[in-house]
Amino acid sequence: METIFLNISAGSGPEECAHAAALTLQVLQKEIKDKKDLTIRIIETEPSRIKGNFRSVLISKEQTDREAEARSELRHSHWELERGNPVRVYDGETLKPVKISFGKKQEKSLKNEKT
């Protein structure tokens, strides 16, 4: 998971700057609300004289790294395979177990190869 800290500040500007900081926060929250792999958290606020406006807002934006999670899952699958779990094949999305059964002809040819 990747975290970014962002400080939105009106600085020492007029009340219009504090209102712009509040609007910026609202836009960020609206845009991130629809994204499943992003979350936003308000850490600290400094309100202005007018209710709803902010002199300063500190937020953290956290993004889930789906590729890192997929690599972790793949490593775990390989670890299970090494532990003696059934043979698995990668079908492009996941590793799926495969049952290996030998017919009588295959078993005979394997025995002949061993001897």
Q: What is the pLDDT of residues 32-91, one digit of tens each?
A: 887 877 888 999 999 999 999 999 999 998 877 666 667 667 766 655 555 555 555 666
> Phi and psi of 41, rounded to 5°?
-135, 130
Domain boundaries, the chain: 2-64, 70-114
Q: Is the pTM of this model over 0.85?
A: no
Closest CA to 8 of 37, 39, 42: 42
pLDDT at 18 over 90: yes
More confident call, 7 vs 76? 7
Using the structure block, give the residue that is written with the tokens 């209710």: 51
- Per the DSSP assignment, residues forming a β-bridge with 96 are 89
pLDDT at 94: 72
HSE, side-chain direction, 13 A CA sphere, residue 86: 9
Q: Are 37 and 48 in contact (CB under 8 A)?
A: no
Give the dihedral of Cα atoms 15, 17, 21, 27; nearest 10 deg: 110
In the CATH hierarchy, which fold is given to the domain comprising 2-64? Alpha-Beta Plaits (3.30.70)
Q: Cα(77)–Cα(95) distance, rounded to whole angstroms?
A: 7
